[in-house]
C-alpha cells in the first residue's frame, strides 16, 4: 500500500448515531431533573416563608431587630459579724429612655412630666448619663417609680416610642448614716469610672462603689454580667427572648463590724463631732468605726441633688469628712506610754527615776517656760505616776533623754505616721516629724523646743483615730501589732472564705518590766485617785487607759486656759485610748471628741456595751 492510500484510510470516520442519541437523552433528563428540583425547592421555601415564618418576617418587616441586652448581676449583700444586714438590694421600677429611638427628647420629657413626677435633678442626672453612654443604650431617667406612675405610663406607653419601664435592684442601706464610715456607698457610674472599668463586664450596670467597703471590694461585690438575645420592635419593646446567658451574682460579704457596738458608739458621741474606733486586739478585727456627724448614704445612690450636696459640703460640721480614718489630730498625752516604754526598755530611765513637777519646765540657756496642765505642779513623780497623772514636766525631761529620733522610732514601730493598711482607700497616714522632715517641708532646722513639745503629743505630730486604736491594741498585746481589717469573710453559693491573719504584722520588743510598768501606769489612770481618767468612772472590769488633750490654739505664758472665754469650736479636743480587760484584752478603743473633754465618757459607754451587754456574744473566727 502506497503512502497516499494509507493517508486516505486514516481520514475515514465511523459515526454511531444511536449512541449519540442516548447521550443526548441522558443530558436532557439530568437538566430537567435539576430544573424540577430547583423549582420544588423554591416552592418549598415560599411555603415555609408564607406559612411557618410569616409572623417572624412580618415583625422584621416592621423594623424589628435582634438585640443583645446585657443582664447586670445582683450585687453582693453586706452583713455585720453577727449576720445583721447592712447593705441590701431592693426591687424598684425605673423609667428608661433609648435616645436613638426618641425623636424629640425635650418634648418627650415635657409630656412624661404630665403624669410622672420628674425633678430637675432627675433631668440633670439623665443629661449627664446621655453624654457618657452610646445613643442606642438605655439611660435611666427616674428610679423608684410608684405603682400609680407605672400604671399611668403603661396606659400612655403608645405615645412614647423609645421609653420603657424596667425592673431593677437598687442599693439600700438600712442603718443609714450609722454605717457609712465603714460601708461607704454606691453611686452612678461617671466618666472617671469609665476610664478604669472593664466595660464589657459593666454593660447594663448603672452603679459602682464610690467609697468605703463598697469601693474597696467592688470586684467581689459586682459579679459577672449575663446577656439576652432578644427581638425588639421599633419602639424598643421586647417581643421575645431568643437566647439567654445568666449573670453570676457578686459575693456576699461579712464585716468584722459589730453593728450594735457601732450604734452604741454613735449614741455615745451624740451631738459631738468626733470619732470612735474599736479593735479586737488579738486579731486586728475592727469592731466599730464611727465618724460623727455623718450622712445618709442612700442620698448618693441614685444621684444626690445639688441642694442636698451643698448643704452637706458647706456645713461647718463637715459630715462628709471621715474623721476615723482621715482626721489627722495632735494626739496629746496619749503618746506618753509609748515614750515611757522605749525609755525603760533602753535603760534610759529606771522605774524609780523621778522628776520634780513644779508646774513648768525650762531648757538650759533659755527663759521660755513650758508649762504643765496643773499650774502648781504635781510634785515628785516616777514613770508610773507620770503616766497616771499625765505629768507634762516629766515627759519634757524624758523627751530630752530619748531624743527626737528615738521618739520617732517608737511611734513608727507602733504604726503612727503611715497607713495602717486597712481596706479603706481613703485613709490618711498622719505625721511623725523628724529633723529631716522639717528641713524638707518647713525649710528650717529642728530645735530642742520641737523635741520638747513632741514629747507631750503636740507640735507637728499628727495621728488618726484608727492609728490610735491600732497602737493601743498592740500595747495591750505586749507588742504584737495585728493588721486592722474589716472583711471577716466572703460567701458564694458554694463556699465561704474567711479572712484571717495567722501572725502579727509587726512585733515591738520590750522587757517584761517595761511592759508591766507602762500598763500599770495606764491602769492607774482609771483606778488611782490621782489618775486623769476620772471621767471614765469606776467600771466592773479592769481597764488600762490614757487621756489626752489636743490643743486647737495656743495661749500665752501668763494666761490661764480655764479663765478664757473661748468659743466652742476653739476649745481643746479630748483624746482617749484604752483596752479591757487588762488580763485578757477583748477590746481596744480610741476616741477623739472635738472641742469637748468627754472622750473618756464616750469610751466608757462603748466598752460597757461590748463587755457587759446581754445580747449574743460576738462572732469568733
Q: Bridge partners of 381?
A: 355
Distance CA 50, CA 55 (A): 9
Cell of 200: 464589657
Q: Which residues contact 298 (CB under 8 A, 6 or more apart)?
A: 172, 173, 176, 185
3-state secondary structure 452-466: HHHCCCCCCCEECHH
Q: Give the residue among 106, 120, 117 at the shortest CA–CA distance from 150.
A: 117
Q: Bridge partners of 68?
A: 229
Distance CA 118, CA 130 (A): 16
Grouping H, G, I as helix, E, B as strand and the rest as coil, residue 11 is: coil
Q: Which spans in 477-615 are helix H?
A: 512-527, 599-612
CB-based contact 542:533 (threshold 8 Å) = no
Distance CA 455, CA 391 (A): 11
Distances (CA, A) of 570 to 66, 542, 560, 573, 594: 67, 34, 15, 9, 9
Backbone angles phi, psi at 571, to 5 degrees: -75, 160
Q: Give the residue among 528, 523, 372, 380 at the shortest CA–CA distance from 455.
A: 372
Task: Out of 143, 216, 259, 333, pick the active-site residue.
Answer: 333
> Is there a catalytic annotation at residue 350?
no
Cell of 233: 420592635
Instruction: Quickly count: other Cβ atoms within 10 Å of residue 77's Cβ.
Output: 19
Helix H or strand E segment including 563: none
Question: Which residues are catalytically annotated?
Answer: 333
Amino acid at each position: 500500500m502506497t503512502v497516499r492510500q494509507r493517508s486516505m484510510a486514516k481520514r475515514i470516520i465511523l459515526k454511531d448515531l444511536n449512541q449519540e442519541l442516548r447521550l443526548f437523552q441522558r443530558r436532557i433528563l439530568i437538566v430537567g431533573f435539576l430544573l424540577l428540583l430547583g423549582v420544588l425547592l423554591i416552592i418549598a421555601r415560599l411555603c415555609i416563608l408564607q406559612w411557618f415564618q410569616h409572623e417572624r418576617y412580618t415583625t422584621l418587616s416592621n423594623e424589628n431587630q435582634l438585640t443583645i441586652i446585657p443582664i447586670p448581676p445582683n450585687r453582693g449583700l453586706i452583713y455585720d459579724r453577727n449576720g445583721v444586714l447592712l447593705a441590701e438590694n431592693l426591687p424598684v421600677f425605673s423609667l428608661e429612655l433609648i435616645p436613638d429611638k426618641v425623636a424629640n427628647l425635650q418634648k418627650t420629657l415635657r409630656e412624661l412630666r404630665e403624669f410622672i413626677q420628674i425633678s430637675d435633678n432627675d433631668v440633670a442626672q439623665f443629661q449627664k448619663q446621655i453624654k457618657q453612654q452610646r445613643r442606642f443604650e438605655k439611660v435611666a431617667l427616674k428610679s423608684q417609680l410608684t405603682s400609680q406612675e407605672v400604671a399611668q405610663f403603661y396606659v400612655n406607653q403608645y405615645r412614647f416610642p423609645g421609653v420603657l419601664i424596667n425592673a431593677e435592684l437598687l442599693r439600700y442601706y438600712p442603718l443609714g448614716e450609722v454605717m457609712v464610715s465603714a460601708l461607704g456607698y454606691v453611686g452612678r457610674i461617671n466618666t472617671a469610672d469609665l476610664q478604669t472599668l472593664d466595660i464589657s463586664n459593666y454593660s447594663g450596670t448603672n452603679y459602682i462603689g464610690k467609697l468605703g467597703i463598697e469601693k474597696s471590694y467592688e470586684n467581689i461585690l459586682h459579679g459577672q454580667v449575663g446577656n439576652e438575645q432578644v427581638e425588639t420592635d421599633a419602639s424598643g419593646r421586647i417581643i421575645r427572648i431568643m437566647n439567654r446567658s445568666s449573670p453570676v451574682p457578686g459575693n456576699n460579704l461579712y464585716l468584722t463590724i459589730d453593728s450594735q457596738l457601732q450604734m452604741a458608739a454613735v449614741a455615745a458621741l451624740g451631738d459631738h463631732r468626733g470619732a470612735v474606733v474599736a479593735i479586737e486586739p488579738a486579731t486586728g478585727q475592727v469592731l466599730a468605726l464611727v465618724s460623727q456627724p455623718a450622712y445618709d448614704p442612700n442620698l448618693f445612690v441614685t444621684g444626690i441633688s445639688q441642694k442636698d450636696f451643698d448643704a452637706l459640703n458647706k456645713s461647718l460640721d463637715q459630715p462628709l469628712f471621715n474623721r476615723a480614718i482621715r482626721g489627722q489630730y495632735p494626739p496629746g498625752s496619749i503618746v506618753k506610754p509609748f515614750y515611757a516604754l522605749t525609755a525603760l526598755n533602753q535603760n534610759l530611765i529606771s522605774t524609780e527615776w523621778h522628776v520634780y513637777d513644779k508646774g513648768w519646765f525650762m531648757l538650759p540657756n533659755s527663759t521660755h517656760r513650758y508649762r504643765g496642765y496643773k499650774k502648781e505642779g504635781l510634785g515628785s513623780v516616777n514613770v508610773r505616776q507620770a503616766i497616771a497623772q499625765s505629768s507634762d514636766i516629766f515627759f519634757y525631761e524624758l523627751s530630752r533623754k530619748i531624743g527626737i529620733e528615738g521618739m520617732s522610732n517608737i511611734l513608727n514601730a507602733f504604726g503612727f505616721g503611715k497607713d495602717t493598711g486597712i481596706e479603706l482607700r481613703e485613709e490618711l497616714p498622719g505625721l511623725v516629724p523628724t529633723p529631716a522632715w522639717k528641713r524638707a517641708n518647713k525649710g528650717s532646722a529642728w530645735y530642742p523646743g520641737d523635741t520638747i513639745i513632741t514629747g507631750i503629743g503636740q507640735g507637728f505630730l499628727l495621728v488618726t483615730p484608727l492609728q490610735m486604736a491600732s497602737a493601743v491594741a498592740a500595747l495591750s498585746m505586749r507588742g504584737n501589732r495585728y493588721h486592722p481589717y474589716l472583711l471577716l469573710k466572703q460567701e458564694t453559693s458554694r463556699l465561704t472564705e474567711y479572712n484571717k491573719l495567722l501572725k502579727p504584722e509587726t512585733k515591738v520588743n520590750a522587757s517584761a518590766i517595761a511592759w508591766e510598768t507602762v500598763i500599770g501606769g495606764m491602769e492607774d489612770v482609771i483606778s488611782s485617785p490621782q489618775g486623769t481618767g476620772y471621767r471614765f468612772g469606776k467600771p466592773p472590769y479592769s481597764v488600762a487607759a490614757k487621756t489626752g488633750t489636743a490643743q486647737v490654739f495656743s495661749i500665752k505664758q501668763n494666761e490661764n486656759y480655764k479663765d478664757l472665754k473661748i468659743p466652742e469650736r476653739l476649745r481643746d479636743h479630748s483624746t482617749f485610748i484604752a483596752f479591757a480587760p487588762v488580763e485578757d484584752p477583748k477590746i481596744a478603743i480610741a476616741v477623739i471628741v472635738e472641742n469637748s473633754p468627754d472622750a473618756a465618757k464616750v469610751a466608757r459607754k462603748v466598752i460597757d456595751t461590748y463587755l457587759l451587754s446581754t445580747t449574743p456574744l460576738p462572732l469568733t473566727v
